[in-house]
Structure 1
Amino acid sequence: MSEPVKRRYDSSRRQEQARENRRRILTAAHDLFVTKGYGRTTIADIATEAGVAPETVYSAFKNKPALLHRTWDMTVGGDDEDVPMLDRPELRALFAEPDLGTRLTAFAVFNTAAMRRTARLHLAVRGAAASDPAAAAMLAEIDRQRLESMGGHAREAAATGQLAVAEEECRDVLFATTDGTLWHQLVERLGWSDERYAAWLGRLWTASFVLR
């Protein structure tokens, strides 16, 4: 009667080990894509950095483009949970805020934290897109997802009755100010703190979008 228990225990340990390997692989891939470049990073490089065999990387992610896609998803969400951003509790709580100015200020803080995680990888993908079809496809998918997400924010803003511009304009301005470029220029190049950047971005959005 003890054998079934042992099998469940062993299965659980194998699943946890596989998940830990995936986390290490994704972390290694992110770091190498950012520092070495997507095109110059090989599966063997990622395996060495993660401390696993190349076969383990292929088994978990099949190929480098699939690994890039999953690395981006993990970087955006901040974890390896497969939950769309708009469905995450942090954003659902943000949408529950009835005052649009307060909501935009909070979203600027949320977005700044996201830029801290994603801007460097986004720049790496953008840099590789000119010469690598997989990176170009990933960049197009990133922009498609972000435009869709900003459309969701614009719809929620319009639903408050406090939006001073057309919903499409709100979506487009949010899209243009959340790709990491502004964060990279002001924080990484000019030395702003994340707190200063978030406060400025919140003021910009509030002045642009909220009815007076």
Structure 2
Amino acid sequence: MSDGVKRRYDSSRRTEQARENRLRILRAAHELFVSQGYGATTVAEVAAAAGVAPETVYSAFRTKLTLLRRAWDLAVGGDDLDVHLLERPELRAVFDEPDLRARLVRFAGVNTAIMGRTAGLRRAVEHAAGGDPAAAEFLAEIDRARLEALGVHARAAAATGHLTAAEETCRDVLFATTDGTLWRTLVEGRGWTDEDYAAWLSHLWIATLVEASGRST
């Protein structure tokens, strides 16, 4: 009996250690990709920064591109839980808000937090895409997924009956303002706070998508 308990404990501990190693590796990869570029970063450097052997990185992720993909997933979600972004509590709270203006305020706050986690890494992917076909395809994949997700937001906005722009216009406005460029320009470049940025972004969306016709809701 005691041997069985010990084996279960050891297995559980090994699983947790493996998860901790993966998180350290992903965070180290994120920092290095942002600071020195995806192409210039080696797996050996990631391993050294994470305090593990290169073989551990390869065992967990196999390739540097997979490492980039998983680092992106971690940055978008903010954790390593296997939950689609649209199903996360902060996004469910956005969709559950019946008032479209208040919903856009909520969404601007959520998006600002995501930009803070992903904008630097996206820029690293953009730079790598110029000379790396795999990185270019990954960037296109990121934007395809983002466009699809923002289409869900646009359909939900139209369903409220208070969207004054076309549903496709709503999707495209959201798409054009959520790739990290505006956040980098205003927060990193001009020193805005995240709170100021989120407030400005929500006002922009509301003015364009809800109040454009001058109709009150």
Q: TM-score, normalised by structure 2?
A: 0.96
The one-letter code matched in structure 2 to 1:41 is T
**Matches of 1:194 and 1:3 in 2, distance apart?**
53
Instruction: Please state if 1:73 is matched with 2:73.
Output: yes
Q: How far is the alpha carbon of 1:135 from its aligned partner?
A: 1.3
- For structure 1, the 5+ residue unaligned runs are none
**Matches of 2:187 and 2:2 in 1, distance apart?**
58
Q: Deviations over 1:69-117 (max 9, x none)?
A: 0000000000011111101111111111110001001111111111111
Instruction: Please state if 1:28 is matched with 2:24.
Output: no
**Matches of 2:171 and 2:71 in 1, distance apart?**
26
Q: 1:174 corresponds to which residue? A: 174
**Matches of 1:67 and 1:142 in 2, distance apart?**
15
Once the two structures are superposed, the pairs formed by residues 128-207 of structure 1 within 5 Å of their partners are: 128-207=128-207
The one-letter code matched in structure 1 to 2:50 is A
Q: 1:105 corresponds to which residue? A: 105
The one-letter code matched in structure 2 to 1:137 is E
**Matches of 2:136 and 2:13 in 1, distance apart?**
38
Identity across matched positions, percent: 69
Moved over 2 A (4+): none
Q: 2:94 corresponds to which residue? A: 94
- For structure 2, the 5+ residue unaligned runs are none
Q: How far is the alpha carbon of 1:46 from its aligned partner?
A: 0.4
SS at match of 2:170: helix
Instruction: Please state if 1:53 is matched with 2:53.
Output: yes
Q: Deviations over 1:30-51 (max 9, x none)?
A: 0000001000001101000000
CA RMSD of aligned residues (A): 0.8
Q: TM-score, normalised by structure 1?
A: 0.98
Comparing 82-91 with 11-20, which one deviates more in the overlay? 82-91
Q: How far is the alpha carbon of 1:134 from its aligned partner?
A: 2.0
